[in-house]
Amino acid sequence: MSICPKCKAKIDSLRQVTTGIEKCDIFFNEKEGWIDWKNEKFESDGIIRIFYCPECDEELNLDDEEAEQFLLEKDELKEIIVEKIKQIEDDKKLCGV
């Protein structure tokens, strides 16, 4: 599992935002009184692709290859350090420090 460099959460996925074109058919549903979208298709233009941590929503400065490598990371030492830091922070909260 990878660790977010911003919030230090253990994550096994990234949130991606990309630019492109959305195509769909829009109908007014008279019976229900709202608009229905059908046949939605999104075509990425690949111009902008931004990756975010799914826990803290902070942008991670990664390109496609780096994002893939990030998700493949299994740095056990880093995970142990992050767990220890969180434990110390939790202990401080309990002690009122």
Reported for 65-69, long-range contacts at CB under 8 A and 24+ positions apart, including other chains, are 67/14, 67/16
Q: Where are the alpha helices (DSSP H) in the chain?
A: 64-72, 76-95
Mean per-residue pLDDT for 43-65? 92
Q: 46 — alpha (psi -120 to 50), left (phi > 0) or beta?
A: left
Is pLDDT larger for residue 54 or for residue 82?
A: 54
Contact 13, 87 (CB under 8 A): no
Check: pTM over 0.75? Answer yes or no: no
Q: Is the Cα dihedral 80, 85, 86, 90 positive or negative?
A: positive
* Average pLDDT of every residue of the chain: 86
